[in-house]
Structure 1
Amino acid sequence: MQTGQFHIAIRKFEPFERFIQARWQDFCAESGCRLELCAAAMDLPELHRSLLTENGLKNGHWDIALISSDWIKEAIATKAVLPIEPLIQQEDYFTPWPASLLRSQQSGNNHFAVPFHDGPECLIYRKDLFEDPRHCSGFLAQYGYVLEPPKNWETFYDIACYFQNKEPGLCGTALAAYPDGHNAVYDFCIQAWTRGADFTSANPSINLQNQGIIDGLHFYRKLANSSHALHKDSFNMDSVKLGAAFAGGELAMMINWFGFATYAAQLDNSPVKDKIGVAPIPHQVDKPSVCPNSYWMYCIASGSANSAVAMDFIQFASQPKYDIALTLNGGIGCRKSTWHDPEVNSQLPFFNQLEAIHELARELPDWPNWPAIAQIIDEVMIQTGTTTQEIESILFAAQQKIDLLQSTPAVN
């Protein structure tokens, strides 16, 4: 580590990369900081490996990292990140953010990260297609009911089939099925939770032997193998590539993070600009919708020799005007004030629905060993989507692996 450099690890996503670069320039101009920014953007597996598997947060390789709420408990348990409160002199520092964006990084009396980018998963769809009289009448004639954003999984599949190849280059939907231990895990949770299958308990323990999970995976397999409904590149897509496909006009609808709706709405050359709607995720008819919540945060590496500079930069970059700037440039600001900002809502007419979607938000378990469990669930989804093995046997084998993992003493 060179003393003249400041290292930030970033989740690979162009709006994130652009924002960090711009804010560092602003920070140095205002503060007089002369450290050279060395920022590295990585996909999810590489980022987790660099931060936690290879101990980059502890050994001084990084000063700041953008870290997922899925990983923060692992980082806290392994003492890879610093608590924020001792680095600031402001008791009400976290007041501007909602409680739903502070839970994952809290341990004891401290928070170990500051919210950066938010946006629960939701249904994102093409309003122009759903409101086109030709498609409204055509869908009604073919399926016998009104075309509208799907509220249950059966109608989701029907609508995806209807729009598949309905226009040149258009697919009904797509999956972020690339095996990165993240997106397919959320698809697993969506299929379970929206069928009322709660597979976790406070012990903590996991039980995959649940009819709602079995039914959900059968639906996932049906969709994943359907050339009548699905984009052919789904198994090479993570959430970013899925969002890019929607922004490029390739999809009638998708289930993805709210931020990809704003990304598509602000992309100058996007054919779906000004044509985007959002809605809650479909669910079983007699069960409520659930919108999984994962968010990105600034964390300060415990091995950083520049922790004071790191805290100064985070406070600078997360102030209200820059939270709005992130939102208007492809990200999702996390401050409550941003959600209700008039300029934001004038440019993103669907943005005011974020608060209602947040009411349906649910986080993954905040267990230190959750990333290891997520890898097992990721394997379940790969096998479900790419093999003909019985769902019940896939789940049984996964349960055995999870039971073995959870019998191992937890890291304190």
Structure 2
Amino acid sequence: MNSNRLRLISRQFEGFEASFAVQAEHFEKLTGWQVDREFEEIHRLYDRMVTGEEAASGTHDLFLCVTDWLPEAIQKGLLLPLDELLSEDPPEGWPEAWASSMQGLQTGKDGSIYGLAYHDGPEMFIYRGDLFDDPLEQEDFAKRFGYPLQVPATWSQFIDIAHFFTRPDAGMYGALTASFPDGHNNVYDFLIHLWSRGGDLLTKDWKAAFHQTAGQEALQFMVDLIHKHQVVPIEALDMDSVRSGHYFAQGGIAMMWNWAGFAAVAEMPGMSKIAGKVRTGLIPRGDGPQGIHMSLNIYWVLAIAAGSKNRHMAYQFIKETASAKMDKATSLCGGNGTRLSTWRDQEVRKQFPYYEHLETVHRNVKSPLPIPEYPAINEVLSQMVDDAMRLRAPVQEALTHAAEQVDNILARAGYCG
């Protein structure tokens, strides 16, 4: 391998391709080192780098890894700890320049840090502000439902508004989901609905809890959006988060919950038909007394693959990419920077107003289980959601079967009360 060349692998996403292009050009001018970039579909990325342990093979120096995969990758020795490098040559402003929610998930059980946050979620409520502000729409909605048209506080209000804006003959639907079974948004959507209704994934003694009442309500709600209420186009069953984000940007959807980065996509000139019309807010809460506004905290970290032969220069790229200037570039290219300075930057906020809400959203977030077995559990949940969404199994049957599988995974791994 050319000693003046680094190899990076990332998830496929236009925002990542654009931001890494800017950052690679900056790094080459600074050091003379080129950064070759490869972008892979998310499932395939996990299969190659973690399941197939390609991160240890020497084929790549840098691995953009989502936090869900980190416990397994760390346990398998696929990533290098950065503690010594961070101590000797820290990035600009380390660690105070990042919110605490951007520092915890890449810390292993051994206390070592295995990557720096590169791209943040979180999931947010994203909607067409022009539709919600239209006086005629407001008048019609109030007549029909008896309360003002505004950002829905609860999931029942979300359904009302979705019904109101669903006009298939006009090419308009009230809502959109990313329901493709890639173990990504279809699972995260279920977790958000579960948590927002006061439910839990597991009990305190490591038994499945997601099949109980809150989980039943959550999964049934997701199924009903498409099949009962018909406020989400059926095509959403084959949309991942990226495709749904682009679909929303074409103007035929009134609202969705999705990663904040897709509010950025909807503001990108030339890519969106609704630039300047997009707003964000808190994801609705469950209607019962346990209901809470909740979002999901996962993020992508830039890590050094254990097989890298260019570890020093790989760290230098991570360090440079984590600078205030390059983190801001991530945001301006359509990703989500992770530094507080980026979240508070006036130029970023002017182009992408949702940054005003990021710190607020991060005050009430949960993350998937930080255990090596979580990817296997995630696959079970993905199959469960897809079976229910495609009507292959009734909601309760899908939940019960998945709960049994999760209990078996945890029992085999030795988890107990």
TM bucket normalised to smaller: over 0.9
The reply to whether residue 99 of structure 1 matches residue 100 of structure 2 is yes
Moved more, 171-180 or 269-278: 269-278
1:40 is displaced (CA, Å) by 1.3
Partner Cα separation in structure 2 for residue 102 and residue 96 of structure 1: 10
- What SS does the corresponding residue of 2:400 show, helix, strand or coil? helix
Structure-2 residue corresponding to 1:321: 325
Consecutive unaligned residues of structure 2, counting only runs of 5 or more, are none
Moved more, 380-389 or 361-370: 380-389
Structure-1 residue corresponding to 2:233: 231
- What SS does the corresponding residue of 1:116 show, helix, strand or coil? strand
What letter matches 1:362 in structure 2? K
The reply to whether residue 378 of structure 1 matches residue 378 of structure 2 is no
Q: Which of 185, 199, 202 is the aligned partner of 1:200?
A: 202
**What TM-score do you get using the length of structure 1 for normalisation?**
0.94
What letter matches 2:80 in structure 1? L
Structure-1 residue corresponding to 2:285: 283
Structure-2 residue corresponding to 1:264: 266
1:204 is displaced (CA, Å) by 4.1
What letter matches 1:256 in structure 2? N
1:100 is displaced (CA, Å) by 0.5
Structure-1 residue corresponding to 2:38: 40
Structure-2 residue corresponding to 1:363: 367
Partner Cα separation in structure 1 for residue 29 and residue 2 of structure 2: 21
Structure-2 residue corresponding to 1:345: 349
- What SS does the corresponding residue of 1:110 show, helix, strand or coil? coil
1:23-45 alpha-carbon deviations (Å, 9 max, x no partner): 11211111122xx4331111210
Moved more, 302-311 or 260-269: 260-269
Q: Which of 135, 141, 144 is the aligned partner of 1:142?
A: 144
Structure-2 residue corresponding to 1:330: 334
1:269 is displaced (CA, Å) by 4.5
- What SS does the corresponding residue of 1:230 show, helix, strand or coil? coil
8 Å Cα contact 1:119/1:332 also seen in 2: yes
1:10 is displaced (CA, Å) by 1.1
- What SS does the corresponding residue of 1:265 show, helix, strand or coil? coil
Q: Which of 242, 247, 251 is the aligned partner of 1:245?
A: 247
Moved more, 71-80 or 158-167: 158-167
What letter matches 2:188 in structure 1? Y
Partner Cα separation in structure 2 for residue 326 and residue 223 of structure 1: 34
Q: Which of 299, 304, 309 is the aligned partner of 1:305?
A: 309
Partner Cα separation in structure 1 for residue 351 and residue 95 of structure 2: 27
Structure-2 residue corresponding to 1:21: 21
1:224 is displaced (CA, Å) by 2.7
Change (3 A) 1:51 1:202: farther
Change (3 A) 1:5 1:90: closer
Change (3 A) 1:143 1:316: same
1:209 is displaced (CA, Å) by 3.5
1:49-69 alpha-carbon deviations (Å, 9 max, x no partner): 111111111111211011111
Structure-2 residue corresponding to 1:110: 112
Aligned sequence identity (%): 31
Q: Which of 189, 192, 202 is the aligned partner of 1:190?
A: 192
Change (3 A) 1:318 1:337: same
- What SS does the corresponding residue of 2:396 show, helix, strand or coil? helix
What letter matches 1:26 in structure 2? H
1:167 is displaced (CA, Å) by 7.5
Moved more, 225-234 or 60-69: 225-234
1:326 is displaced (CA, Å) by 1.4
1:187-210 alpha-carbon deviations (Å, 9 max, x no partner): 110111011011224554432331
What letter matches 1:65 in structure 2? F
1:233 is displaced (CA, Å) by 1.2
- What SS does the corresponding residue of 1:284 show, helix, strand or coil? coil
Q: Which of 84, 87, 99 is the aligned partner of 2:85?
A: 87
- What SS does the corresponding residue of 2:267 show, helix, strand or coil? helix
- What SS does the corresponding residue of 2:125 show, helix, strand or coil? strand
Moved more, 365-374 or 205-214: 205-214
After superposition, the CA RMSD in angstroms is: 1.9
1:264-303 alpha-carbon deviations (Å, 9 max, x no partner): 1123352211111111111113321111111111011001
Q: Which of 372, 391, 395 is the aligned partner of 2:395?
A: 391
Partner Cα separation in structure 2 for residue 128 and residue 83 of structure 1: 47
Structure-2 residue corresponding to 1:59: 57
Partner Cα separation in structure 2 for residue 109 and residue 375 of structure 1: 27
Aligned residues: 409
Partner Cα separation in structure 2 for residue 274 and residue 167 of structure 1: 25
Consecutive unaligned residues of structure 1, counting only runs of 5 or more, are none
8 Å Cα contact 2:122/2:297 also seen in 1: yes
8 Å Cα contact 2:22/2:329 also seen in 1: no
1:394 is displaced (CA, Å) by 1.6
What letter matches 1:102 in structure 2? Q
Partner Cα separation in structure 1 for residue 56 and residue 147 of structure 2: 57
